[in-house]
Structure formats: C-alpha cells, structure tokens
C-alpha cells in the first residue's frame, strides 16, 4: 500500500470522511485544511498522491495545483481534484490544470477507493518504468565506453526501408560524422572497397532470408585510408507486428603494420525488446488497450500541425458512458472495467486504422478522426451509438448487462491553434447530448441540414 497520501480540504467533515475511508484500507495520510500549509509540507516531504479540494478560501485548488506543477520536485505527483460541483467546464478546467482524475462530493467510499487505487498503481508503475529507463541509460553509457575501448561498434538495418542506424563507435570506425552521413543502403555500400562491394551486397541479401552473416571486408575512409573490418549480424523479429530487423557488430583493431581482426557478437535483443515495451506502456491505457491520455493528446497536436501545414479536415468524438456510476454500484467495479473494455472493443470495430481511440480519464474517451468532415463524423457516431446500445457485457454470474453512450462531435476550424479548442467544443456537445436524455449524438459543428438533424437519438 502507498504510505504517503496528502489530503487538502477546508471542510473538516469532508477531510475526516476521506481520512476514515483511506486509513481503514491501510493508507497513511497527511490531512491539511488549506493550500499554503499543504504546499509547505509537500515541499519538505513530497507525497506520492494528492487529493485536492477545488473551492477553498484564500488559495483555491487550481492555484495550489499550478504551484505544484511549477515545482520540478513536485510536478510528477498525481493530483486528484475533489469538489461538490458537477459542471463539465469545471471538470475540464481540473484536467487542464494538471489533475489526473476528479471525485465529486458527497463521497462514495467505493469510488474513492477505486480511483485512489488506480492512481497509486499507475504511479508505482511509472516510477518503475523511470527506474528501468535510468538503468537502461546507464547501461547504454557503459556500452558506449566499452565499445570505444574495444573498437567495437554495432548497427541496425531496416531492410524494408533500407535504412541503417549506427552506434557512435561504428561511425568512428567508418570515419564519418553522424550529421554528414546519410543512413541508407547505397551510401553504406559506397564505403566498402570496390573489390569487396559485390560480395558484401550478396551477403546482405542472403541475410534477409535468414542466412548468417560473418564476413571480413575492406572499407575506404573519406581520407583514402583502407581498413579491414569484421562484421557479424543476425535477423531478429521484434514486437507484435514481427517486422524483421537486422542487428550486427563491426570491429577494427588498428596496428602499425597490419589490422588484426577479431569477430565479436553482442546480443541486444532484450535491450530492443525493453525499449519497445517501455514505449508501449507509456502510450497505452492499461485497462482498455486504447491510447493513453498523453499519447492521444500528442498525436492530436501533431494532426493539428499537419492540417495547418498541408490543409485538410479533422473531427473529434467525445464519448462518456451513461450512468457508469450506477453500473459500478449495482454490479461492482469489475463489471465496470468489463464495460469500459467492451466500449473500446465496439468502437474499434467501427473506426479506420488511421483513427485513434484514447481514454482521457475514468469513463471519458475521445476518438480522433483525421481527414473527416463533421457530416462523416456524425454518421460514424450514430452507428457507434447504436452498436454500443446493442452490445452485451457477459458477467461471471451468467447474466449480462447493457449500457449506452453519449457522444459529442467537434471539427477543426481555422481559429484552432491546438487541439484544446476542438476537445472543448466536443465536450460541450457531449454535455448537450447528456442534457437531452443520453444515448444520443450532439455536435458543435455545422453540417448540411439535409444530412442529419440537430441531434441523433439511438
């Protein structure tokens, strides 16, 4: 269990209730009734999680969070906002301020524990990922030193793209600076001595079919010096797509009268697998498998930049499960998790490969639709609403539950400099869909009235 949660709420009753709920589960707490005292405490001993009330006299929760995020020692600490307000605008502002989640008063014990547990687990996972990444960087630094001492370099070749990637020592062996050397197949072959070029090219072609590669050949440096090198390599398939990559080593031992060549191979498969796994963890929501909030927003910002440069269309769907709290209350949080997974599963079946589904927090999702008009997005959202309403979530008790979703639509407009404006309009449209009775689609963009009505009800 986490040993250091900081609570901030000016209401004594709310603070005590939170403390009772969490302390009963073994959490160790530090309660405060104002933001100034809480900031001083966390500066002295940083907590692992912060539960922060929004509406407080003096310094409100948004200002406290702003100061937390401005402090390099504190900015990575997850903040869960708590408030009696239910307006969508305030929730959006909480996330824009840097919050990771939102709990509404009056507190429901199961909801508080579930949200705290989720972010405790996520925070521990992120710390472990950071530790592994630091170890990886240290390992890479040691590898560079060892390669420099041994005159041993390694390289990677993407045979499909015909792109090479060399280590620093490989560049030194071949006599080039990274910024002055195109990393492609033809440029690499031009380094090889003319009398050895055909033999090396044939060996590389055989390597793509799985044959071994263990060869000595001559290279010609930019200043005309001729060196003899020894290369070994292996074809390896990494990741779910099983795309082949070729990893190899090159070694050169300079001496006065001759070059003594020794062959060395280093297995870096686990190294590459770890890099791939770390990237997957950072970009994927652990429960549903869709894009994480950070990865979704980064991709959306790139899409906005692309439109500003080349033109085009973009639409965003904002989704929210209807009555999700009631599902958790009646069937339990495991059923709630199954419902979130089913929502993503249904949506995946209705979008293109270029589209992206992201979980923004709790039961809130967004779908990025590049090169899609508002009219087209409206049709997609209607089918999605119907498909979700028709889906069933099987439960261990041999029963099943049905659920619905409300969807808001917004499209890129010329005044949008970043994704925030599009998302904000989609959120407002989602709020309208909820207001009109849920299980329906609403939009903030304008489309041909002959295409669809102002709103669609499944």
pLDDT tens, residue by residue, 169-218: 777 777 777 766 666 777 778 888 999 898 888 887 777 666 666 778 88
Supply φ then ψ for residue 407, to 5 degrees.
-135, 135
Cα 312 from Cα 455, distance rounded (Å): 25
- β partners of residue 107: none
Contacting residues for 332 by C-beta, under 8 A, at least 6 apart: none
What is the pLDDT of the chain when averaged over all its residues? Answer: 82
Residue 10 in this model has a pLDDT that exceeds 80: yes
Per-residue pLDDT at 262: 39
Supply φ then ψ for residue 269, to 5 degrees.
-60, -50
* More confident call, 36 vs 132: 36
Residue 265 in this model has a pLDDT that exceeds 50: no
Taking the model in full, what pTM does it have? 0.45
Contact between residue 259 and residue 252 where contact means Cβ atoms under 8 Å apart: yes
Work out the angle between the directed axes of helices 35-44 and 61-70 (0-180°, nearest 10). 20
Per-residue pLDDT at 432: 95
Mean pLDDT over residues 67-83, rounded?
91
Residue 377 in this model has a pLDDT that exceeds 70: yes
Cα 383 from Cα 458, distance rounded (Å): 9
Residue 343 in this model has a pLDDT that exceeds 90: yes
Mean pLDDT over residues 274-281, rounded?
72
Give the chain's domains with CATH numbers. Answer: 5-130 (3.40.50.2300), 151-278 (3.30.450.20), 284-457 (3.30.70.270)
> Can you spell out the DSSP letters for 95-162?
HHTT-SEEEESSP-HHHHHHHHHHHHHHHHHHHHHHHHHHHHHHHHHHHHHHHHHHTEEEEEEETTTT
Mean pLDDT over residues 321-346, rounded?
93
Residue 37 in this model has a pLDDT that exceeds 80: yes
Per-residue pLDDT at 104: 86
* Per-residue DSSP letter, 192: B
Per-residue pLDDT at 263: 43
Residue 367 in this model has a pLDDT that exceeds 60: yes
Residue 375 in this model has a pLDDT that exceeds 70: yes
In terms of Cβ atoms closer than 10 Å to its own Cβ (0-12, 13-18, 19+), residue 275 is middle
Nearest by Cα to 285 from 352, 327, 328, 347? 347
Could you list the active site residues? 363
Question: How large a percentage of the chain has pLDDT more than 70?
Answer: 80
Per-residue pLDDT at 145: 63
Nearest by Cα to 251 from 274, 300, 217, 279? 217
Mean pLDDT over residues 113-121, rounded?
86
Helix or strand or coil: residue 256? coil
Mean pLDDT over residues 281-288, rounded?
87
Nearest by Cα to 250 from 200, 300, 320, 318? 200
Mean pLDDT over residues 86-100, rounded?
84
Cα 5 from Cα 401, distance rounded (Å): 35
The torsion defined by the Cα of 369, 375, 376 and 381, in degrees rounded to 10, comes to: 80
Contact between residue 240 and residue 284 where contact means Cβ atoms under 8 Å apart: no
pLDDT-derived band at 267 (thresholds 50, 70, 90) equals very low
Contact between residue 455 and residue 442 where contact means Cβ atoms under 8 Å apart: yes
């Amino acid at each position: 269990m986490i040993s250091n949660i900081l609570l901030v709420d000016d209401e004594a009753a709310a603070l005590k209730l939170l403390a009772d709920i969490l302390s009963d589960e073994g959490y160790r707490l530090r309660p405060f009734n104002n933001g100034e005292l809480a900031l001083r405490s966390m500066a002295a001993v940083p907590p692992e999680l912060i539960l922060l009330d929004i509406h407080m006299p003096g310094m409100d929760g948004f200002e406290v969070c702003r100061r937390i995020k401005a402090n390099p020692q504190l900015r990575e600490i997850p903040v869960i906002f708590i408030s009696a307000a239910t307006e969508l605008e305030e929730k959006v502002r909480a996330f824009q301020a840097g919050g990771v989640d939102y709990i509404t008063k009056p507190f429901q014990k199961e909801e508080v524990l579930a949200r705290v547990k989720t972010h405790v687990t996520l925070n521990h996972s992120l710390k472990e990922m950071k530790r592994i990444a630091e170890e990886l960087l240290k390992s890479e630094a040691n590898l560079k030193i060892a390669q420099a001492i041994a005159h041993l370099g390694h390289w990677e070749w993407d045979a499909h793209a015909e792109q090479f990637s060399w280590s620093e020592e490989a560049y030194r062996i071949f006599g080039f600076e990274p910024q002055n050397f195109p990393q492609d197949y033809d440029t690499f072959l031009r380094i090889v001595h003319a009398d050895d070029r055909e033999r090396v090219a044939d060996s590389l072609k055989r390597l793509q079919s799985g044959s071994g590669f263990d060869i000595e050949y001559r290279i010609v440096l930019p200043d005309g010096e001729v060196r003899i090198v020894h290369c070994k390599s292996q074809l390896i398939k990494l990741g779910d797509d099983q795309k082949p990559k070729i990893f190899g080593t090159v070694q050169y031992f300079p001496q006065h009268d001759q070059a003594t060549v020794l062959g060395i191979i280093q297995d870096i498969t686990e190294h590459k697998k770890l890099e791939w796994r770390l990237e997957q963890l950072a970009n994927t929501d652990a429960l549903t498998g869709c894009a994480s909030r950070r990865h979704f927003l980064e991709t959306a910002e790139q899409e906005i930049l692309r439109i500003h440069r080349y033109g085009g269309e973009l639409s965003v769907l904002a989704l929210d499960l209807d009555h999700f709290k009631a599902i958790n209350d009646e069937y339990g949080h495991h059923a709630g998790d199954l419902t979130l997974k089913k929502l993503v599963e249904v949506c995946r079946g209705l979008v293109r490969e270029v589209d992206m589904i992201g979980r923004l927090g709790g039961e809130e999702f967004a779908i990025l639709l590049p090169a899609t008009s508002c009219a087209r997005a409206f049709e997609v959202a209607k089918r999605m609403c119907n498909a979700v309403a028709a889906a069933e979530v099987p439960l261990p008790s041999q029963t099943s539950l049905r659920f619905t979703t409300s969807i808001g639509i917004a499209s890129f407009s010329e005044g949008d400099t970043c994704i925030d404006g599009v998302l904000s309009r989609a959120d407002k449209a989602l709020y309208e869909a909820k207001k009109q009775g849920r299980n329906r689609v609403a939009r903030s963009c304008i489309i041909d009235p002959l295409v669809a009505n102002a709103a669609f009800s499944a």
